[in-house]
Structure 1
């Protein structure tokens, strides 16, 4: 692969057609930010090994420092897709190895940078796959700030480190949510439950809704089904389907208790007054109505 030498600290790039996002944004102060459509980086967190850090090559912007694999977004590309793409290009992160937990956005008006914090689901060894890295290492969380960090990452690391301890999980009373919309769900309860599961896939919740830091969270989701809805088809969805063997309310309380025991911050979704009291006693940190969830799903299409 022929590599074109960089100009003025610009990341080195392969010879050939240039992506329109690969350009500097220059502020009135003269400060330069890489990425015409903004930029994003992946903070991959492995509970056993720590954070995947990139030692930046000397000719890059803030060369010689340690930061996150990342770079300029393509036009129309989401921050999560862009961060993972860049991490694959720069560190060989395999497909499906990480799951986004939350995003944190630095928005300067003329330019933005999104840190995508993701949990490693399938352990992997990083591979230097382009010229922008001197080294790639898993660094224990308590040793990250001992490295000479990229200024942007260094400024955000303290807040990001605190949020690494937060793991929100949503437990959904499927019968209550499905039953709140008179769309004929009673004709096919299993089908209605399957449609709700599909909508819950990749659930994104604004941080303000959860009283958390960051900008947007992607919690683990469990939905509890009962009665005829227990006939919902199995699929490869990331949404955990809990089939109540007896009373649905009992299964919901048990799932809340299980999640709380696992040190997760649990958000229970139900409009049933008595059940709301039970899940609160079970340790749910927040209780939201069926209407809250439906509005959230509608806002995200």
Structure 2
């Protein structure tokens, strides 16, 4: 075992203890984050913590203190790369789960692998790194924080949400001049959904605990808007790509077909269709989809930084 002094000099302004009102200390001046990587075949990636570390000898997640101004997702991925050699390009972010004490917070970032990889020890904080089958995790001596959160986290491993958007119906729900430029109005909607796709949605919108969720968005465009341009995702994006389906004929039929394809393709997921069309709602509900009105999606979009747009092209 590599011996490391228990008090290492700070490497970043965030590397410091925070003391709570009850005297308990938590690592990370700006909070901390950990990465829960789930591979369908191998299980989850766990770190056997070095004996000199806090709760040394236990098993937990690679992670650590966040830097000043760093998001939880960025911090978790950076720490996992440094400690465990986790390649960011092998991950897709699914959900985050937040423990917020008011004066300190810890965010668990749950990511699914897009390809298998072998972890590698990158510093002295790990005795071992191991893929552990989900059903075997409880048999290990777990870090107390991870152990208390594991039942909730385990329940979210299979959480998958798909949102199918009836673009024509959503655009038409606001009398803001969309009829002057149908394609432009749809492109504006796609740009806003793309931003929402990048930032995620509060998990409470789907009945889950504190944190954020990244649904897989499918947007169906039709008619004069069928050739609407799709926003180009940022390089290295770790969220599901925005899927735009261009209806050759009936938009409603295409939406139903999209729902059927998603249900058949699996894995099991919550499927939400955004529309105010009652006939369409009845059709997709027959396949187990939940229906929410355009107002639900528009409220989420209006809550993005910058708020609702002042106007649409051509308005």
Q: Normalising to structure 2: TM-score of the pair?
A: 0.86
Post-superposition offset of 1:144 = 1.2
- Offset, 1:297: 1.3
Q: Does the aligned pair in 2 maintain the 1:189–1:229 contact within 8 Å?
A: yes
Is 1:290–2:294 an aligned residue pair?
Answer: yes
Please state how far the C-alpha of 1:296 moved relative to its aligned partner.
Answer: 0.4
Question: After superposition, what is the alpha-carbon deviation per residue over 1:137-191, rounded to whole angstroms, capped at 9, x for unaligned?
Answer: 1111111111111111111111111111221111111111122234443344333
In 2, are the aligned partners of 1:193 and 1:225 still within 8 Å (CA)? Answer: yes
Moved more, 202-211 or 27-36: 202-211
Q: Is the 8 A contact 2:4 2:124 kept in 1?
A: no
Equivalent pair of 1:23/1:34 in contact (CA under 8 Å): yes
Aligned to 1:102: 95
Task: Report the counterpart of residue 267 of structure 1 in structure 2.
Answer: 272
CA displacement at 1:236 relative to structure 2: 4.7
CA-based RMSD: 2.0
Q: CA, structure 1 residues 32+289, in 2 after alignment: closer, same or farther (shift >3 Å)? A: same
Matched, 1:189 2:194: no
CA distance in 2, matches of 1:133, 1:188: 58
The aligned residue for residue 40 of structure 1 is: 33
Identify which of 227, 247, 250 aligns with 2:250.
247
Secondary structure of 1:75's partner? coil
> 5 Å matches for 1:33-112?
33-112=26-105
Gapped regions of structure 2 (runs ≥ 5): 234-240, 306-315
Distance 2:282 2:35 in 1: 39
Q: How many correspondences in the alignment?
A: 291
Distance 1:203 1:183, change over 3 A: farther
Q: 2:217 pairs with 209, 221, 242, which one?
A: 221
The CA distance in 2 between the partners of 1:184 and 1:123, in whole Å, is: 49
Of structures 1 and 2, the one scoring higher in RCO (CA 8 A, sep 6+) is 2
1:27 corresponds to 2:20: yes
Aligned to 2:128: 135
CA shift for structure 1 position 282: 2.0
Aligned to 2:284: 279
Query: Superposed, which structure 2 residues align to 1:167-182 within 5 Å?
Result: 167-182=160-175
Aligned to 2:106: 113
Does the C-alpha gap of structure 1 residues 211 and 82 become closer, same or farther in structure 2, counting only changes over 3 Å?
same
1:75, distance to aligned residue in structure 2 (A): 1.6
Inter-partner Cα distance in structure 1 for 2:199 and 2:273: 14
Aligned mates of 2:128, 2:155 — CA distance in 1: 26
Encode CA deviations 1:111-135: one digit per residue, 9 max, x unaligned.
1111111111232221211221111
Q: Distance in 2 between matches of 1:5 and 1:104?
A: 32
Q: CA deviation at 1:6?
A: 3.3
Normalising to structure 1: TM-score of the pair?
Answer: 0.90
Structure 1 alignment gaps of length 5 or more: none
Could you report, residue by residue, the CA deviation over 1:44-68 in whole angstroms, capped at 9, with x for unpaired residues? 1111111011111111111111111
